[in-house]
Amino acid sequence: MNDAGHGFSTKAIHVGQDPEPRTGAVVVPIYQTSTFAQPRVGEHTGYEYARTGNPTRTALQECLAALEGTEAAVCFASGLAAEDAIFRTLAPGDHVVMADDVYGGTWRQIAQVHTRWGIEVTAVDLGDLDAVAAAMSPATKLVWAETPSNPLLKILDLAGLAAIAHEHGARLVADNTFATPYLQQPTALGADLIVHSTTKYLGGHSDVVGGAVCTDAETAEELAFLQNAVGAVPGPFDAWLTLRGVKTLGVRMDRHCDNAATIAGWLAEHPRVTSVRYPGLATDPGHELAARQMQRFGGMVSFQVDGGVDAAKAVAEGTRLFFLAESLGGVESLIEHPGIMTHASVAGTQLEVPADLLRLSVGIESVDDLLADLDRALDDATPE
Ligand SMILES: *Cc1c(COP(=O)(O)O)cnc(C)c1O
């Protein structure tokens, strides 16, 4: 099925996923093969060798492109492999303007790997459009944004960033991992490349690592060339698991949003919670912008607790339904302490996060059980 005129969840279930022609199987098969028999020398079926292409991967790519509203998508072995391919399109001397609070692995990759090959990067608060304009130079090829951000859930103005990037002959990359295309479509706001860690909400079940770039056909061809030359492909089973997850993205995201909104509102009233970050709260500094550029406000909530780092650690270790773990976007709820876990590498820099901050990836369990779990952990952990 092509995607003309259909709604989001119809596309998620059908695009790239016509019944398999020989048997009528309604689910795209896992083409667990490394090579494809060719009818004649110099002729093939569209598939030759599974690094270059695999039909299960193709199905996922067609589906993700339809969901993001781009001409094409290229899927990778991880989100960071997808980002690596984007940086490899650059040449020595090229410059990237990057959000100063991007995903830590993104920063580590550009700062510790790609700068060794002559790529230059400037970290900027992308919430300050004047600072972004001031950071642009004739060598700037990419502006790299991530919204909502991690773990403070700051909201960036994608349309404003796209305008600045384009004025300077650069392209806007939007990491849409936290929002997903169900809640935010960066293409419609002017972004040129959309990057995903499909490990998170798109896969949605904490059982697969993957990545994707959704973009125009010409850029996708360049990325596919680089991927075939470098080799960071997803296996067919990983592509299949991700595609299986994507089918339910819409219903999952609605439930993640419902539960997160309930929990954020409840935390904001809790006597032992000193601040809550959730763009869905009317008092949140990003609320107005998020209401404009997102359909809903997502499943991530961060908050600070009374009693400092010890209380925060005790809450993180005290929940039972919220597993203490890194990552996010699965059906099960997770809690983590960014200062000591995901964001330890930025301690002592301007990006250091508050020591009493906790981050929730709110799952799709029954919300009353989640509230009771948090309530007990907060009661047990914080001083009277
Ligand atoms: C997890 C994550 C990545 C990296 O993706 P991997 O699949 O872990 O390689 C990039 N960006 C964001 C926002 C992420 O959450």
**How far does the centroid of ligand 1 lie from the alpha carbon of residue 185, in Å?**
18
CA atoms of 275 and 357, how far apart (whole Å): 9
Residues 275 and 152 in one domain: no
Q: In this structure, are 291 and 348 located in the same domain? A: yes
pTM for the model: 0.97
Between 360 and 383, name the one with better pLDDT: 360
Domain identity same for 23 and 81: yes
Number of domains in the chain: 2
Do the bridges between strand 334-336 and strand 323-324 make them parallel or antiparallel, or are there none, so unpaired?
A: parallel
Instruction: Confirm whether 361 is domain-assigned.
Output: yes
Give the E-state strand segments of 11-51 in sequence order: none
Both 69 and 92 in a single domain?
Answer: yes
| Maximum Cα interatomic distance, the chain, rounded to a whole number of Å | 78
Average pLDDT over residues 136-148: 98
Q: Judge if the beta carbon of residue 146 lies within 6 A of ligand 1.
A: yes
In a domain, 171, yes or no: yes
State if residue 76 touches ligand 1 by the CB under 6 angstroms criterion: no
Q: Is the CB of 238 under 6 A from ligand 1?
A: no
Give the domain extent around 74. 8-247
Q: Which of 336, 161, 365, 329 is nearest to 249 (CA)?
A: 329
284: in domain: yes
Would you state the pLDDT for residue 2? 62
Tell me how crowded residue 324 is: count the other CB atoms within 10 A of its CB: 15
Same domain? For 185 and 285 the reply is no
The answer, yes or no, to whether residue 242 has pLDDT greater than 80, is: yes
Instruction: Give the residue numbers marked as catalytic.
Output: 51, 103, 175, 200
> Does 152 share its domain with 173?
yes
Residue 78 Cβ contacting ligand 1 at under 6 Å: yes
**Closest residue to atom 8 of ligand 1, CA basis:** 79
CATH of the domain at 158: 3.40.640.10
Of 6, 73, 362, 1, nearest in space to 221 by CA? 73
Structure tokens at 144: 């790299």
Q: Which of 247, 273, 306 is the last residue of a domain?
A: 247
Residue ending a domain, choose from 197, 223, 247 = 247
pLDDT tens readout for residues 44-102: 999 999 999 999 999 999 999 999 999 999 999 999 999 999 999 999 999 999 999 99
What is the structure's pLDDT at 382?
Answer: 64
The strand ranges marked E within the chain are 72-76, 95-99, 120-124, 140-146, 171-175, 193-197, 211-215, 273-277, 300-305, 323-324, 334-336, 357-361
Same domain (yes/no): 286, 242: no
Nearest CA to ligand 1 atom 6: 79
> Residues 67, 18: one domain?
yes
2 falls within a domain: no
How far is Cα 266 from Cα 250, in angstroms, rounded to an integer? 24
| Index of the ligand 1 atom closest to the CA of residue 329 | 15
